[in-house]
A = this chain, B = another copy of it.
């Protein structure tokens, strides 16, 4: 469910600092969402082969990345997971939000998820699948195009039209059912979601699916900077019980 993008391979002869390359490498792996062959990283990241092999060596030695499989694929390692759960110790939002999502899912029997805006996608931070035999859910860590869901509209509700348009890529405007979402319509939906406590969408990901999304606000009703969080429910329309 994730789109693959390749970083522009500008043949400009500027050296790049190793740290910057590492950050891009991690972002790329996150964007891909699965292990990637080391050999394809130089081209994907627009970096020299020797540089990439050396960075991967350093990062796998430290445990930040791990090599897997027979064809020299690389992905996030357990150290990153360990560091990541440290984040929760100082950030109640994800912990409490996850607990609320679990509770909501049990209450309604439907898939509930905690999402955040990450770059130009929505990232699934926590997910609790519904209990009904037929249900839909996203994979935790996955990144979904914003135009596909009500939560996508809600996450962009506080932005200006030009800010919203800057985040959209042509391939993300195409729904899984191949239908095209008009940019103008999507922008209007986002702006229309402004100030709403709940936003709904129907039949975007597939027929009969509905998405309800609700913003997570900070104190005094303000959105948490940078306005990235929301809670959403994904369910088959036929099974909803209020």
> Which residues of A line the B interface, CB within 8 A?
17-20, 22-23, 26, 29-30, 33-35, 55, 58, 62, 64, 68, 75-91, 94, 116, 118, 123, 125, 139-142
Contacts and interface: CB of A to CB of B under 8 A. Distances in A.
Contacts of A141: 82, 85-86, 88-89
A229 to B, nearest CB: 10
Q: Give how many copies assemble into the complex.
A: 2
B29 A86 contact: yes
B125 A85 contact: yes
30 contacts: A18-B18, A22-B22, A23-B62, A23-B64, A26-B64, A26-B83, A29-B86, A30-B83, A33-B89, A34-B89, A34-B90, A35-B90, A68-B90, A76-B83, A76-B84, A78-B94, A78-B116, A80-B87, A81-B85, A81-B87, A81-B91, A81-B94, A81-B125, A82-B84, A82-B116, A82-B125, A83-B84, A85-B141, A89-B141, A89-B142
Contacts of A34: 89-90
A75 B87 CA distance: 7
